[in-house]
Amino acid sequence: MQKKQNLAIVSTECHGEKINGLRSNRYLLRYTLLLFLTWSVVELYVIPSSEHFRPFYKILIWVLPVLLYIRLVDKNKPIYYLNLANKIDINGWVFIIASATILAINSLGSYLHEGSIDFKLNTPHLINAVLLAGITEEIVFRGFIFKKLSEKLCYWSSNTLQSILFASIHIPIWISNNQDITILFLYVFSFGLAMGYFAKKSKSLWTVVIIHSLHNLLI
């Protein structure tokens, strides 16, 4: 009798976990679809006529929903869930120094080839592409989406999927700027894979935030 009761309890717990898992999957899917739809519309039709509001749009559409999701749906503290409370460890500093060296060599190569380096050190670029993109994009993709996927999938699957999503969300701006989508997609996809690996190994989101900002400054 006791054994049957224990089995019934286990069955009920498993059923509850399954329902919670399905609900969590639906929430994540809805969030991702809403992010892509909203940002595509804003990038294509709103930002071209109000570029100076890009920081506001990015915080409102990218960061705020993630913070609310973690707080209200997951009942967790964003700073801990996103690994923003973790200090950069030795692995993180190795990744940062190695990435900075590679980016500096690339910039030097550009200088030797073209005779100049355009860092675009104007205020809008520093705010939007360097400071803001680094923190907002890493919060969404490596801090939130990658971690959510990692709870359900193996490392390679979750990292590949978040990299595809990361590259895909840049498509609207590439369309707006009439850029080569195929080449840029492959490049940003590869960049996303590297950021996912660095985030996993260093266990601090600040590692990839710094690398991402350096990349946008030097490339």
Token reading at 70: 């973690």
pLDDT tens digit string along 2-18?
555 554 444 444 444 44
By CB atoms closer than 10 A (0-12, 13-18, 19+), residue 3 is exposed
Rg (CA), the chain: 20
Q: Which pLDDT score is estimated for 115?
A: 65
pLDDT at 42 over 80: yes
Q: Which residues contact 83 (CB under 8 A, 6 or more apart)?
A: 143, 147, 199, 203, 204, 205
Round to whole Å and give the CA distance between 79 and 20: 23
pLDDT at 78 over 60: yes
**With pLDDT > 90 as the criterion, what percentage of the chain qualifies?**
68
pTM: 0.85
By CB atoms closer than 10 A (0-12, 13-18, 19+), residue 197 is middle
* pLDDT grade for 111, boundaries at 50, 70 and 90: low
pLDDT tens digit string along 123-174?
666 777 778 889 999 999 999 999 999 999 999 999 999 999 999 999 999 9
Task: Return the SS3 of 219.
Answer: coil
Q: How many CB atoms lie within 10 A of CB 159?
A: 23
